[in-house]
Chain A
Amino acid sequence: MAIIETHQLAKIFPGDIRAVDGIDFEVNSGEIFAFLGPNGAGKTTTIKMLNTLILPTSGTAMVAGLDVVKNAAEVRKRIGYTAQDVGVDEHATGKENLTLYGHFYRLDGKIIKERVKEIFDLVGLTGSENRMVSTYSGGMRKRLDLAMGLIHQPEVIFLDEPTTGLDPQTRASIWEYIRELVKSKGMTIFLTTHYMEEADRLANRIAIIDLGKIIAMGTADELKKSIGGDVVTVTPCEDKDEACKEFIRRSEAVLTGKPFVTGTKPTDGELAVYVNDGASAIPNIMQLLSGQGIEVKTITMSRPSLDDVFLKYTGRTIRTEEGSRTTFAKLVRMRDRRQR
C-alpha cells in the first residue's frame, strides 16, 4: 500500500528555478525509501512539500492518504520531521524539548511522560534527559532531533540528510536507530541523502534525483544491474589537462560500439567502461587502446556502485559534488533561506 504518492509534483521558485520539476513516485508502507542525489538536486524541496512546510507550485502529493495542501493540518499529525539543521532548542533540556513536542502533538501529559522515557531509551539518550542540550555532542543532538519526530508515533518519518556532518561511528548508530524504528514500530521512512553508501545500505528502494527530476528508481540491486555487469575504469593519462581529455575522447571512440561494451562515460581524467564481464574485457580493452597508441596508466575493475548508476544517467559523479561544492551549496542554501 502506498503511504506517500506524488503526481507531477513541482516547485518553481521565483526566477524560474525549477527546484523540483514534476516528479512521480510511490513509497510503500513500512519501507525505507531514499532520495539520492547531489546537493541542489531538489531533495530538501521535495521533503518540505511533503511535510507541508512549503506549497507545491503544481502537481499533487498524498501522505498517509491525505492531500498535503488541502489537509495540511491532518498530515502534520501523522508525520515526523527531522531537518538537515538540527532543530533542537539549546537552552532547554532534552526532556523539555521532547515534552514540548508532545504537547504540540496534543498528547496527554501522562502519555508524554511514558513516551519520553521510552524514546530516550530507543535513541540511547537515557541518563541525559535532564542535561541542557547545549552540553550535548553533535551526535546526541541529532538523536534528540530524531526523537522529537517520534513522540506521537507517526506513520511516516521524513529525514532530511540524517547523517550529514556526523562521524562514521555516529552515522552507523543513527542507521541502527532508523532500522530499529521500521522493525519495531512499523514506521515508514522517507530520507534524503547524498551519501551513496547510506542509500545502498539503509534503503529498501532508492530514487536517484538530479536537477529536480527522478532519473532512476528501484532497489539498489536493480539500479546496479541496470548498468550491466562490471565497471572497468581506465586512466589513460597522469595529468588532467587538455591532452588527457583528448586521450579519453579517443579511448571512448575506440571502445564505443564494441560487442562486449554496454556503455561508456568519461569523467575528469578517467573513462568508465560498462561491460558484461570485466575479467575478459580488460585484455580486450588494453589491446584495443594500445593498438591506437593510447598508453593505459591504470585500469581497475569494480562491481557497479550507485555512483556508477548516477554517472551513467547524468554524466557526473555524486562524489565530485562533495567537498568544496558542498560548502558552497550550503552557503547558497543559507542565503536563500534568509532571503526567502
Chain B
Amino acid sequence: MNLLKDTWYITLRDLRARIRMPVFIFMTLFQPILWLVLFTQIFKSLGGMLGPGGSSYLQFFAPGVLVMTVLFGSAFSGFGMLWDIDTGVLSKMLATPVTRISVIAGRVIATVVVLLIQALIIIILALIMGVHFKTGAPGVLFTFFLLSLLGLGFAAFSNGLALLLKRQETVMAVTNLLTMPLMFLSSLMMPAALLPGWLNTVRQINPIDYAVVGARDLISNGYIWHDLWLSLIVLAALAVVGVAFGTLMFRTRAE
C-alpha cells in the first residue's frame, strides 16, 4: 500500500515539475510534429520505392516516429535522476521511510505517461495528415501497450545508468552511443527490403526493430500475429531486463 502511495506521490512530483516548464511543454508538442513533418518531406520520394500498394512514406514512417519518440524520451529519463543525485534531493529522500523502489518507479512511470501523451499527439496529427489506421482504435491501444513496454524498459535502464555512472557527461555519451545505432540498425526509416543484407540480419537482434514492426503492422498492415507475438515477447523481455537493471542499480548504488 505504501509502495503504491509513494510511487503515486513521486510520479505526481515529476509530472508537476515538467508541466511547469514551458520549454518542456513546447518541446513535447513540437518535437513529434517536427519529426513527422520534416522526415516525411525529406524522404518523400522514397514513397514510390515502397513496393506494390504504392503506400506513401508518411504511412510507412508514422509508426517509426512513434517508436523514435518513445526511444529518445525514455533513454534520457535518467537525467532527472542525475539532477536529484547532484542536488542532494535523492539522499534526503532516502533518509525518510519512503518505500525505496518508489523513488525510481515514480520517475519511470512519469516518463512513460509523458511519452504516451506525445504518442497520442503524433497519432492525431498523423490522422489529420491522412495516415490510415488499419486496425482502428483497438490497434492504437495495442500500439500504446507496445510503446509502454519499450518506454518502461529504456526509462528504467536509463535511470539505472544514471545511478551507475553518476556523471552527466558519461551518461550522455553512453546514451547517444546506444540510441543512435539502435534507431538506424532497424527498419524504422528504411523498409527492410531496401536494407543491405547484413543490416537485415543485425536488426533481428535489435529490440527497436520489434517495436517498429509491431507498430507498423498494427497501423498499416493489420493483425499479423506472428509478428505481434514476437514484438510482445521481445518488448516484455526488454522491459523486464530494464526494470531489473534499474532496480539493481538503485539498490546497490543509491545512497
Contacts and interface: CB of A to CB of B under 8 A. Distances in A.
Contact of A340 (B9, B17, B90, B166): B166
Nearest to B9: A103
B16 A92 contact: yes
A338 B21 contact: no
Contacts of B88: 83-87
A321 to B, nearest CB: 23
Interface residues of B, number: 26
B94 interface: yes
Contacts of B90: 87
A48 B166 CA distance: 19
Interface in A120-145: 132, 145
B92 A92 contact: no
A88 B21 contact: no
A204 B16 CA distance: 43
Interface stretch (A73-81, A238-246, A258-266, A309-317): A73-81
Name the residue among A87, A103, A104, A158 with the largest chain B CB count within 10 angstroms. A104
A132 B20 CA distance: 10
Interface stretch (A51-59, A194-202, A223-231, A286-294): A51-59
Given A103-B5, A338-B167, A89 B13 contact: yes
Contacts of B9: 100, 103-104
A76 B20 contact: no
B98 A83 contact: no
A185 interface: no
Contacts of B253: 340
Contact of B255 (A54, A85, A145): A54
Given A92-B16, A92-B17, A76 B95 contact: yes
B166 A104 contact: no
A273 interface: no
A340 B255 contact: yes
Contacts of A81: 92, 95-96
A217 to B, nearest CB: 25
B89 A88 contact: yes
A177 interface: no
Contacts of A158: 95
Interface string A58-100: 0000000000000001001101011111111111100010001
A158 B93 CA distance: 14
Nearest to B94: A53
A73 B98 CA distance: 9
B17 A91 contact: yes
A90 to B, nearest CB: 7
A105 B96 contact: yes
B13 A48 contact: no
Contact of B95 (A51, A96, A106, A145): A51
Contacts of B91: 48, 53, 83, 85, 87
B167 A91 contact: no
Contacts of B94: 53
Nearest to B90: A87
B166 A338 contact: yes
A337 B17 CA distance: 25
Contacts of B2: 106
A148 B98 contact: no
B93 A104 contact: yes
A47 to B, nearest CB: 10
A90 B9 CA distance: 16
B254 to A, nearest CB: 9
Contacts of A337: 85, 166, 255
Interface of B: 2, 5-6, 9, 13, 16-17, 20-21, 85, 87-98, 166-167, 253, 255
22 contacts: A48-B91, A53-B91, A53-B95, A54-B255, A77-B97, A81-B96, A83-B88, A85-B91, A87-B87, A87-B88, A88-B92, A89-B13, A91-B17, A91-B20, A91-B21, A92-B17, A96-B16, A101-B96, A103-B9, A104-B96, A148-B92, A337-B166
> What are the 10 tightest A-B residue pairs by CB atom distance, in nearest-first order?
A85-B88, A87-B92, A91-B17, A87-B88, A81-B95, A338-B166, A104-B96, A104-B98, A76-B97, A51-B95
Given A87-B90, A89-B17, 12 more contacts: A53-B94, A76-B95, A82-B92, A83-B88, A86-B87, A91-B16, A103-B9, A104-B6, A106-B2, A337-B85, A337-B166, A338-B85
